[in-house]
Chains A and B, each alone.
Chain A
């Protein structure tokens, strides 16, 4: 079977620009969740989030006329492609799989609010042109001259991971030897208000796997991976950052917002990813958990992890405690974190974890990062609609 490797990585995160900056923040265990400034939070239960720093946006080299999400997506994608060192001919065959949910909704909301306030259509229509999730793929394909298969994947919080899984499938089926895959989401009012309305946001920075956890903290980011047929990568002498060994994608078909209470779909996704990668649970040294910090998700994910790996048999941490839940980007942000964890032999911590939940029978790496020699790791991403995606990476 065709092996799929990662030959480029790009991240714009609440730590700033670049995969190196991202990794430095994770390794230090810096929690980037702070008071939210992008939108007005007056009257909401939670008023914090992990934002891409305001001073970073002008340095991205992307026009201010583009949506906030487009700007961070383009910067992350450019970094990934630069690292992979692709020629224009390579790019002409490179597929593009973008996980997205919010699109340019932040700017669209401003337009909508203004129209609602004044009661008449406004002439400023640019915001409407980039409001949909597909707008990112259109911008990326155009600016980066990518001519392979293109898909905008909307699978809620599993979108970024699903894009990686589908991109790898495209390579394995022979559709193209190169794919740029990842996800992006900027903070939007509708997302912030929605999770507040569901009472799923913690007023304090989230505490995944803590006994006293009260919900998640939202964030924003973009992360893209260049996936490549291993033979193609070797032939052009490119550097390999890691290997995507397998991917599992399942659906709970149980409830629109709640996970299956026994984690049935999660278990199938992890088992499928392991089988696809020809790995046993014992081969996995680390799991980058979905780990949102909501009471229900963490309990069910722990249950599913215990069924797959056995209680306490694997290190587990949630990088959402550091950079927030970056929604459609989360799966690709955490794929990047998992790859970097394998590269550096250092497991990022779960921040704010002071009193481990006894129902979570795993070492969740509280406090600070831990050096561990790892060969393979798994990243979980789950989302509304009962969407489950697990990715297995190797060094």
Chain B
């Protein structure tokens, strides 16, 4: 792939179950022992077979927003807006026609969809709210943020399981490299919502999968038995390195390589023997002009799903990379987690830990790899 423009990370903003704030808050959350996964408090999940989640304290979220935002925005839009404002503030980013968005989400605003549909089920056509309907489209979060920050370049929403956030960061970097924007707010967002939680539990997609073993998030462990969901929004400000330097921005790190691919496997499958013929990680490393041995660390998408963890471990081993670090036990699985992996990689590179590989693989075969390093 031709990388015509270098891409810097100049800001981080995150609202997650462990912490909220900019790069220092994310660094603090990464330095502490994981503590955010706990019994679900905000809704009744009895009978679903699962009862843990990494939830946001709504009072802390509200404190980041003004009253008008709280009144008019859905909960997931509040998360996305708060995180984007934090990232923008840290970077000193101002809106304009060359500022874009790349937002990943696993489920979007399902809460609004259910609320809208329930209005019909209760009262027929007269129960439908024209105010809620626009939120049911998955790009509503990006629309809200674009208006708030004045982002007028492309605003892309990507729907993807497991790797939504890191894929969005890779897409955002491509928008800059391809010349469609000079700066992009890129990351992911999801919220915990009862219907989705119960649906995932009914599908056997949450710990304890197949009802075996104690519930909990134990990525890559011998006794891993499923993911625990989380919620929140994490965004990074991506910027052309030249523009960042010209305006004297504090550069946290550089996105030195990106690649993503499709491993054609059955939907929802994670076949451990399936290899990546397209060389996703190799391509990302080639862009960064690095060998696997030069990597300081690898943040993987392992979330405790046994098949997926094992597949990822095997894929990385084939690329010569071992011992990936999972952030899922700290924040729970959600669309912002991939962006937290990017943020963690950026902070590690900034602090001298060497370049980081941010890696993700989803059931169904969407694979993403980013190399984050110090901006030389």
Residues 126 to 147 of chain A near chain B (Cβ within 8 Å): 128-130, 132-135, 137-139, 141-142, 144-147
Contacts of A194 in B (CB 8 A): 116, 128, 130, 133-134, 136
Q: Once bound together, how far apart are the Cα atoms of A93 and B132, in whole Å?
A: 41
Q: Once bound together, how far apart are the Cα atoms of A391 and B161, in whole Å?
A: 29
Among A151-159, A203-211, A339-347, A354-362, the stretch in contact with B = A151-159
A169/B178 contact (C-beta < 8 A), A43-B125, A116-B118, A125-B202 known: yes
- Residues B139 and A156 in contact, CB atoms below 8 Å apart: yes
B262: Cβ under 8 A from any A Cβ: yes
Among B37-45, B143-151, B234-242, the stretch in contact with A = B143-151
Contacts of A133 in B (CB 8 A): 138, 159
Q: Once bound together, how far apart are the Cα atoms of A22 and B138, in whole Å?
A: 29
A23: Cβ under 8 A from any B Cβ: no
A96/B262 contact (C-beta < 8 A), A138-B268, A256-B134, A387-B139 known: yes
B371 nearest CB across to chain A (Å): 16
- Residues A151 and B178 in contact, CB atoms below 8 Å apart: no
Q: Once bound together, how far apart are the Cα atoms of A174 and B155, in whole Å?
A: 22
- Residues A152 and B159 in contact, CB atoms below 8 Å apart: yes
Residues 159 to 180 of chain B near chain A (Cβ within 8 Å): 159-161, 167, 171, 174, 177-178, 180
- Residues B265 and A154 in contact, CB atoms below 8 Å apart: no
- Residues A141 and B2 in contact, CB atoms below 8 Å apart: no
- Residues A250 and B2 in contact, CB atoms below 8 Å apart: no
A interface bracket (residues with beta carbon within 8 Å of B): 35 or more
Q: Once bound together, how far apart are the Cα atoms of A12 and B2, in whole Å?
A: 35
- Residues B125 and A252 in contact, CB atoms below 8 Å apart: no
Residues 83 to 106 of chain B near chain A (Cβ within 8 Å): 95, 97, 100-101, 106
Q: Which of B95, B155, B203, B278 contacts A128 (CB 8 A)?
A: B203
- Residues B130 and A256 in contact, CB atoms below 8 Å apart: no
A62 nearest CB across to chain B (Å): 14
Most chain B Cβ neighbours within 10 Å, of A92, A135, A150: A150
B interface bracket (residues with beta carbon within 8 Å of A): 35 or more
- Residues B260 and A149 in contact, CB atoms below 8 Å apart: yes
- Residues B113 and A134 in contact, CB atoms below 8 Å apart: no
B201 nearest CB across to chain A (Å): 9
Measured CB to CB, the nearest residue on chain B to A94 is B262
B220: Cβ under 8 A from any A Cβ: no
A109: Cβ under 8 A from any B Cβ: yes
- Residues A253 and B150 in contact, CB atoms below 8 Å apart: yes
A125/B180 contact (C-beta < 8 A), A141-B264, A190-B116 known: no
- Residues A145 and B143 in contact, CB atoms below 8 Å apart: no
- Residues B158 and A385 in contact, CB atoms below 8 Å apart: no
- Write out, one digit per residue, whether chain B residues 253-271 have a CB within 8 A of any chain A CB (1) or not (0): 0000001111111111000
Q: Which of A95, A129, A196 contacts B268 (CB 8 A)?
A: A129
- Residues B260 and A116 in contact, CB atoms below 8 Å apart: no
A284: Cβ under 8 A from any B Cβ: no
- Write out, one digit per residue, whether chain A residues 356-395 have a CB within 8 A of any chain B CB (1) or not (0): 0000000000000000000000000001111100000000
- Write out, one digit per residue, whether chain A residues 104-135 have a CB within 8 A of any chain B CB (1) or not (0): 00000100110010000100010011101111
- Residues B261 and A155 in contact, CB atoms below 8 Å apart: no
- Residues A100 and B159 in contact, CB atoms below 8 Å apart: yes
A155/B155 contact (C-beta < 8 A), A116-B121, A384-B134 known: yes
- Write out, one digit per residue, whether chain B residues 113-143 have a CB within 8 A of any chain A CB (1) or not (0): 1101110110011001110011011111011
Most chain A Cβ neighbours within 10 Å, of B129, B133, B260: B133
8 more A-B residue pairs beyond the given contacts A151-B260, A255-B147, with a C-beta to C-beta distance below 8 A: A125-B203, A132-B159, A137-B262, A141-B264, A142-B365, A144-B264, A154-B108, A194-B134
B residues at A contact (CB < 8 Å) = 1-4, 95, 97, 100-101, 106-108, 113-114, 116-118, 120-121, 124-125, 128-130, 133-134, 136-140, 142-144, 146-147, 149-161, 167, 171, 174, 177-178, 180, 195, 198-199, 202-203, 259-268, 277-278, 364-366
